[in-house]
């Protein structure tokens, strides 16, 4: 482009105005938004006018671009949900459609929301949560809300349990196992339900659980547990100290009290 008033006015004379354009003081304006459609006084190297987007075209373009981005984001979330291993029944729960009338539960609810609001920092710090409490107080529901929120934010999330991970090990599903090991947030539901026993014949599974937790610990990748047992319960009967220590170091322990939810 070059500045050349003479060429500019030549080009202007040869230009055929569109229906939504008007010529005023040597500048072509959009009749919708009254902002310029050409760059005044300058011409392209071939002597033609330099067209620019008026405000309304710019806005339309921006909206289209945003719509495309939003569509791509939604597609990505759908994909992430598909591979999250989350059960159908929990796939639609969210903080927004969860009632928290019980004061004790509200405290935990707020902590879970807070965790998700600081998801990027928690992912970076490798900080997780360990929710324990009696059957039916709503631990799984709350952690599923967290998982769905983190998926919406575009994080890679897996929502599963040790029994299913044991199946992956037994079927040698290394692809899925690697995803479980490396995803941004790993949710282990109903931890302890698999009922491994100290010094039991399931020592191999104890070792695998330790390896998984230890790998994520070393890589500073957060884990969120829900369990009917406190860590002390698990240490007493089910898991060895090395495993429990790792969980304790990574996770804030939260006890969910309150009445049965269902
Ligand atoms: Zn316009």
User: What is the DSSP code string of the chain?
Assistant: -EE-HHHHHHHHHHPPPPTTEEEETTEEEETTT--BSEEEEEE-TTS-EEE---HHHHHHHHHHHHHHHHHHHHHHHHHHHHTS---GGGTT--STT----SHHHHHHHHHHHHHHHTHHHHHHHT-EEEEEESTTSSHHHHHHHHHHHHHHTT--EEEE-HHHHHHHHHTT-HHHHHHHHHSSEEEETTTTTT---TTSTTHHHHHHHHHHHHHHHHTT--EEEEESS-HHHHHHHTS-HHHHHHHHHHEEEEEE-SS---
Predicted structure pTM score: 0.78
Ligand 1 centroid to residue 36 C-alpha, Å: 8
> Tens digits of per-residue pLDDT, 36-93?
999 999 999 999 999 999 999 999 999 999 999 999 999 999 999 999 999 888 989 9
Which domains does the chain show, CATH number per domain? 1-82 (no CATH), 85-256 (3.40.50.300)
9 Cα to the center of ligand 1, angstroms: 22
Cα(73) to centroid of ligand 1, in Å? Answer: 29
pLDDT digits (tens, 9 = 90+) for 107-158: 999 999 999 999 999 999 999 999 999 888 789 999 999 999 999 999 999 9
Instruction: Give residue 262's pLDDT.
Output: 47
- The rounded percent of the chain whose pLDDT value lies above 90 is 79
How many Å lie between the centroid of ligand 1 and the Cα of residue 56? 4
Which chain residues have CB less than 5 Å from ligand 1, an ion?
Answer: 30, 32-33, 54, 56
């Amino acid at each position: 482009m070059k500045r050349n008033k003479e060429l500019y006015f030549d080009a202007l004379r040869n230009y055929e105005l569109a229906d939504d354009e008007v010529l005023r003081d040597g500048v072509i304006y959009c009749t919708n938004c009254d902002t310029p459609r050409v760059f005044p006084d300058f011409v392209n190297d071939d002597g033609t006018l330099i067209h620019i987007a008026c405000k309304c075209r710019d806005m339309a373009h921006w909206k289209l671009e945003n719509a495309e981005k939003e569509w791509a984001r939604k597609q990505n979330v759908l994909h992430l949900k598909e591979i999250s291993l989350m059960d159908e029944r929990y796939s639609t729960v969210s903080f927004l459609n969860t009632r928290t009338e019980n004061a004790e539960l509200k405290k935990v609810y707020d902590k879970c929301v807070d965790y998700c609001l600081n998801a990027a920092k928690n992912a970076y710090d490798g900080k997780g949560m360990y929710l324990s409490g009696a059957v039916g107080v709503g631990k799984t529901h709350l952690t599923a809300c967290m998982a769905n929120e983190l998926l919406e934010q575009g994080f890679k999330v897996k929502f599963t349990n040790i029994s299913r991970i044991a199946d992956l090990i037994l079927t040698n599903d290394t692809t899925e196992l690697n995803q479980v090991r490396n995803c941004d947030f790993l949710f282990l539901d109903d931890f302890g339900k698999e009922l491994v026993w100290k010094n039991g014949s399931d020592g191999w599974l104890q070792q695998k659980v330790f390896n998984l937790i230890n790998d994520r610990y070393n890589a500073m990748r957060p884990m969120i547990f829900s369990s009917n047992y406190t860590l002390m319960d698990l240490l007493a009967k089910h898991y060895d100290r090395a495993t429990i220590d790792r969980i304790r170091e990574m996770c804030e322990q939260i006890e969910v009290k309150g009445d049965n939810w269902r």
